[in-house]
Structure 1
Amino acid sequence: MRGLDILLRWSLTGAAVLAIAACAQQPPKELTMVDHIKAGLIEQDVFVEKEPGKIYRISPDEFDAYKNAPIFAASTSAHHHPFNGEHNGPYEKGAPLDMTMAQWLSATGAVTYQCNAGKSDVTAHYKNLVPNAVYTMWYAYTAKGFMGCKDCPFATIDFPVGPSDGSGSVFRTDASGSGTITASMERCVESDDPHLMAMFAIAYHSDGNTYGPSPGPVGSVSHVQLFAGLPE
């Protein structure tokens, strides 16, 4: 995984330079955010109990069978494998998340962004998230060549929206599960690098904590709920 991390960071350096030139005075763009199942991927950060004490990720073709099942966190962090069902489980059961899979996947959201003079303004609105909960929003890169590849390593380079310390990436939902976040970034969010795919994502923090410039341990206390890929 270290080699992939180095490749992404090396590519990102060139991408940032190209993006600044390409990003001046762009009109606002809106993206609809989706969950993993709607995107045709394996749900990553919430799990269902298929045997006592053992939990599993579900694939899109399992949704109907498990839509009313309660969901759980993993007891420890679980690396993302959105294309490889061999990593669906079992994992040790962690804390209950007090909702069903269908409730988790009912979340919706849209993000509007605009690049201007090498910077970006980002606004996002969400509904049906976890009520009265702590979330963070992220901007990430991943290697295009590994998308859809079952046997390839999967990793993202994650940046909090707003300041690099993560202080501007946090938002809280109301009693109905609605939430809004507005942030500015010292970079254009679109990349001309043909090797990289950029995206936005939000993570629910089931422990109520945030982790500064990092999303935190995924699967156990940090749970990616919605995401959207940026246009190429």
Structure 2
Amino acid sequence: MSHTDSSDRANALSLTPVSRETEQRLDILVALLEKWQRTINLVAPATLPVVWTRHVADSLQLVPLAGDATRWVDLGSGGGFPGLVVAAALAERPDADVTLVESDSRKAAFLREAARLADLPVTVVPSRIEQVAGVLAPGVEVVSARALAPLPRLLQLAAPFLAQGATGLFLKGQDVDNELTESAKSWRIDHEISPSLTGGGGHVLIVRSAVPLSADAAGDDGFSQGGHHD
């Protein structure tokens, strides 16, 4: 039995319209998430009835912000937001290549199964971000993350990608201004802020470049990698 609200699906797709084929891929992803959610906490349980607006549309809004970009890395993908959803939207482009980095082995297993069932252009890397970022960075056009870490730490994790010309698309909450103020102590950031299409005080932080002001900014500041996918 589905826990999602059909009106929520319609509302989400009105906010972020996609092709019929993409809708079908998203239906597969949501159905599998509901199944796996019974044993793995992929999203906050209270958000299941509004999974389409809270998670799917929230992720889909990144796709038009990326323009023609098709080579994408999603950091700390968790339950697949935004990475799996982005891959579903890009699947019709022949050169689409979406890499999902997720260190939790159970969540990585979910991501692999979802990508297989929905036939998505996805590679799952079950490693810590710090261990693979330098290897993955060349040629990447977009690096994304959602609910992964405070911005100063997130910029450290994304730095190898940003340094090689990738655009950062980071889904952030209502404290984004405070996070930017804190980050400006260590980074020179070329950015834009776009209000989230799904409301709730959320924002999309678009980072064109982030240059550390000192060697310390690019190093370990004590935050641990992890995500709270809500």
TM-score, with structure 1 as normaliser: 0.24
Higher RCO, 1 or 2 (CA under 8 Å, sep at least 6)?
Answer: 1
Task: Kindly name which structure, 1 or 2, has the bigger radius of gyration based on alpha carbons.
Answer: 1
TM-score normalised per structure 2: 0.24
Greater helix fraction, Structure 1 or Structure 2 = 2
